[in-house]
Amino acid sequence: ELLGVVALDGPSGTGKSTVARRLAGSLGAAYLDTGAMYRAATLAVLRAQVDPTDAAAVTEVVQRARIGLSTDPGAQATTVDGADVSAEIRGQEVTTAVSPVSAVPQVRAQLVAEQRRIITEALDTVGGIVVEGRDIGTTVAPDAALKVYLTASAEARAQRRSRQDSTDLSATLASVQRRDAYDSSRATSPLRPAEDAVELDTTELDLAGVQAELLAMVSERD
């Protein structure tokens, strides 16, 4: 039986990216990191020296940017206008500016259309794709075969992020909470679980534990 779409949503620091990539790898599915697309769009905005809160200017820059990304779970490469930006999109400058850029409705419309194109192609070729983000179950793929909403306490999420990025814990907690508040309160596809999503709290789980829960959900889906 073909896998179809697995939608993984939730705030940052839940271990979403790592588990999504591993899950795709172990299922032989494609992997789509939609956050990387919003980050790449944000990098293009910063490079153009456009104010991330100027919706019209942001829309124009993002329309012109050629954002590319690999859907191979073993080879994560994101490009902007042909150049590899995989490391740069994880930097502090992009992380600070990404929420206002991704709140622009025209940016979301453009990237959601591109995400749907990538999903269709993956379903046609390998039959399955794990898609991770904030609005996959609600907007990008409302018909997904399985929707999981990952949560964890803000403290646990900040701890994981600061370990991952080797940054100060209290600053990371503040940054995680600021981004969550922004992402949850925007008008266009805010961060929230789909009605038919299964919620999984990862506060007390390690990566292997989350992975085991997800694999069980995949095999139990109808």
Stretch that binds ligand C5P, among 50-58, 128-136, 169-177, 197-205 (CB under 6 A): 128-136
Tally of residues, the chain: 222
Other CB atoms within a 10 A radius of the CB of residue 138 amount to 21
Q: Name which position in 133, 144, 152, 210 contacts ligand C5P (CB under 6 A).
A: 133
Stretch that binds ligand C5P, among 72-80, 95-103, 192-200, 206-214 (CB under 6 A): 95-103
Residue 167 makes CB contacts below 8 A (sequence gap 6+) with 161
> Looking at beta carbons only, is 28 or 72 nearer to ligand C5P?
72
> Looking at beta carbons only, is 99 or 162 nearer to ligand C5P?
99
> Looking at beta carbons only, is 28 or 153 nearer to ligand C5P?
153
Give residue for tokens 């790898």.
25
Q: Is 38 in the site for ligand C5P (CB under 6 A)?
A: yes
Q: Is 102 in the site for ligand C5P (CB under 6 A)?
A: yes
From first CA to last CA, the distance across the chain in angstroms is 11
Nearest to 149 by CA among 23, 4, 6, 10: 10
Angle of helix 92-102 versus helix 169-185 axis, rounded to 10: 20
Annotated binding site: 10-18
Kindly identify the residues of this chain, within the stretch 171-210, that bind ligand C5P according to CB under 6 A. 179, 183
Q: Which helix (H) or strand (E) holds 179?
A: helix 169-185
Q: Which residues bind ligand C5P (CB under 6 A)?
A: 12, 34-35, 38-39, 98-99, 102, 133-135, 179, 183
